Structure 1
Amino acid sequence: MGARVSREDYEWVYTEEPHATRRKEIMAKYPQVKKLMGPDPNLKYKVLCLVTLQILAMSVISTQSWPIVFLMAYIFGGTINHSLNLAIHEIAHNLAFGHGRPLANRALGMIANLPIGVPISVSFKKYHLEHHRYQGDVKKDVDIPSEFEGKMFNRTLLKLIWVILQPYFYAFRPLFIRPMPVTLLEVINFIVQVLFDVMVYKYFGVKAIFYFIQGTFLGTGLHPLSGHFISEHYMFIKGQETYSYYGPLNLLTFNVGYHNEHHDFPSIPGSRLPELKKIAPEYYDNLPHYTSWVKVIYDFIMDPEIGPYSRVRRHIKDSDKTD
């Protein structure tokens, strides 16, 4: 099964990304969709509950054996930290306090970041918003694997390794493909995170730090929730560049599975995306979608036709302009 090499290049297209056009059509046909836009008042409470749960887990983890710590980092801590990653995704769109309170959103993002162990919240925002605006763009969409990844991880065993290492590629890819100046908020995010990590180490020891940081990398690597990384934009069907997932794991991921809906309306919080689908079913029900993220991961690894190159790429005219 690993003998065949997957795709040898991206799927190059000369069309615009599909979401802006669908957004305009839906807005014209269903103006009530506007009522779904705006912050989710419950998001901050969900974040605080998850962060509190992880902090409470520290005292338990610090007294356990290393095998138990590792197991809990994958099963429990990794799952919660993955959820917090997706809370940061929601916060990046200002869906906690609205566009009128950007600093409140950034502060909550830093709080959500604490159990993750490494500072990602502020940096994620600046790159993720470009992923929406320039989906598939050859220069600006760092969500797409690099040419090195496409050429290197193109067989079954190598794709398995790539899935395990996904969090490292997501973390370091932007630094090589599209480095940006470090902002003051990123410095603050870094300082806050380091201070928190130092306090955890001082009062709870190395096992608690391992539980947080390793849980983050385990939970965003070969983990059931990580199926969304692949399901969202990897081209399992030629020409289809965004896919939704409708399954129970949306309950743990702020409905990130409703990904066509999210890209169509990034100003609608995840909690209201199912309602968007109900309002405009003819735009979503017939689109290819998934019901299992575990199967998505399995198919990505085992299907010789699929690999890191299985992404739509495009040249966008204004991508050459100065930001």
Structure 2
Amino acid sequence: MGAQCTRTDFEWVYTQEPHATRRKEILAKYPEVKQLMGIDPKLKYIVTAMVLAQVVTAYFMRDASWGLILLVGYCWGGVINHSMTLAIHEISHNLAFGHSKPLWNRFLGMFGNLPLGIPYSISFKKYHLEHHRYQGDDELDVDIPTKLEGRLFHSTFTKFIWVLLQPFFYALRPLFLRPKKIEMLEVINFLMQLVFDVLIYYFFGWRSLAYLVCGTFLAMGLHPVAGHFISEHYMFKKGYETYSYYGILNCITFNVGYHNEHHDFPNVPGCNLPKVKEIAPEYYNNLPCHHSWSKVIWDFITDPDIGPYARVKRPAQFSQGTQTKSD
């Protein structure tokens, strides 16, 4: 089973999350950061290009062997689909069309959702913004693993299994911990996805549809780009709850690796996050960070000090007083 994890509980803190304070300090010292806020004008075109690329690839996969489907799904389609989930992440912050056009953002997210094969975009937004507002909250931050996950996946082998199954935990955990009323936009998201999947099956066949769906799940588990799930908030150094990644994969993930910068300024699109660090380097250069998502996954699996319990948690009263309008 491998080395057992040393942690038997989360890292409990009784302070407010650090991003609101740092945001105020940086804006007071560098008001020009406000000029970086707004939209990414290229985002809608990138999303469209990725959707088209996946439809074309799905067409060529219609008669492919299952081995080739899995290989292309892991190395190509899964990377595109994972990148698309991060485009949807940008869109959830209204960074495609701005806060004045929320429905435009929602429908772009649903359009980008299509090659993933499963409805995701609208539900993701509902829970993700709470992760920003209530980071580490014992009740509201469903990004944090459950106690059951911490108890079950506590050795090298079981953490390996947890990483493989990560897409299922990531997708299902919010539904069990904080079920919410289904919104009309979620119904529309589901129906759009259903129609798209039926059309792919009708015109291309099962293998093409399997290529899309398999790619989504393959690239959210044991895959280099999925390293950001772990790198962002798992406590690799005591006392720090958010970590940035400064590596080459940022170029295909909308700079999601700049995660301290993103939590400090959710209104800054990914294309501008490196500029935040350039303007205010003294606030970021001394923070622990990552340079390889593959190493993050390896360390998570093999290091007995890291596991599902390696997350900072705070009682509700310490997070619910730090709500911000910058989401």
Q: CA contact under 8 A between 1:2 and 1:304: conserved in structure 2? A: no
Q: Any unmatched runs of 5+ in structure 1?
A: none
TM-aligned CA deviation for residue 239 of structure 1? 1.0
Superposition map of 1:156-167 within 5 A: 156-167=156-167
CA offsets per residue over residues 17-68 of structure 1, 9 Å max, x none? Answer: 0000000000000000000001111110111111110011111111211110
> What's the counterpart of residue 97 of structure 2?
97
1:247 aligns with 2:285: no
CA offsets per residue over residues 130-177 of structure 1, 9 Å max, x none? Answer: 000000000000000011101100100000000010000011101111
> What's the counterpart of residue 211 of structure 1?
211
Q: CA contact under 8 A between 2:41 and 2:96: conserved in structure 1? A: yes
Distance in structure 2 (CA, Å) of the matches to 1:266 and 1:3: 38
Superposition map of 1:217-232 within 5 A: 217-232=217-232
> What's the counterpart of residue 75 of structure 1?
75
Distance in structure 2 (CA, Å) of the matches to 1:120 and 1:202: 22
TM-aligned CA deviation for residue 302 of structure 1? 0.3
Superposition map of 1:66-145 within 5 A: 66-145=66-145
Aligned CA distance change for structure 1 residues 320 and 94 (closer, same or farther; 3 Å): closer
Counterpart of 2:108, as a letter, is L
Distance in structure 2 (CA, Å) of the matches to 1:319 and 1:225: 29
Distance in structure 1 (CA, Å) of the matches to 2:245 and 2:319: 30
TM-aligned CA deviation for residue 5 of structure 1? 3.0
TM-aligned CA deviation for residue 316 of structure 1? 2.6
Q: CA contact under 8 A between 1:166 and 1:220: conserved in structure 2? A: yes
Distance in structure 1 (CA, Å) of the matches to 2:4 and 2:72: 36
> What's the counterpart of residue 291 of structure 1?
291
Q: What percentage of residue pairs aligned between the two structures are identical?
A: 63
TM-aligned CA deviation for residue 107 of structure 1? 0.5
Distance in structure 2 (CA, Å) of the matches to 1:212 and 1:149: 28
> What's the counterpart of residue 256 of structure 1?
256
Distance in structure 1 (CA, Å) of the matches to 2:104 and 2:31: 29
> What's the counterpart of residue 179 of structure 1?
179
TM-aligned CA deviation for residue 110 of structure 1? 0.4
TM-score (norm 1): 0.98
Q: How many residues align?
A: 322
Counterpart of 1:21, as a letter, is T
Distance in structure 2 (CA, Å) of the matches to 1:4 and 1:124: 33
TM-aligned CA deviation for residue 70 of structure 1? 1.1
Distance in structure 2 (CA, Å) of the matches to 1:3 and 1:130: 34
Counterpart of 2:177, as a letter, is I
Counterpart of 1:180, as a letter, is K
SS in 2 for 1:233: coil
Q: CA contact under 8 A between 1:243 and 1:290: conserved in structure 2? A: yes
Q: CA contact under 8 A between 1:8 and 1:309: conserved in structure 2? A: yes
Counterpart of 2:290, as a letter, is Y
CA offsets per residue over residues 195-234 of structure 1, 9 Å max, x none? Answer: 1001001111111111111110001110000110000000
Q: CA contact under 8 A between 2:17 and 2:319: conserved in structure 1? A: no
Distance in structure 1 (CA, Å) of the matches to 2:63 and 2:143: 38
> What's the counterpart of residue 64 of structure 1?
64
Counterpart of 1:91, as a letter, is I
CA offsets per residue over residues 69-107 of structure 1, 9 Å max, x none? Answer: 111111111100000000000000000000000000000
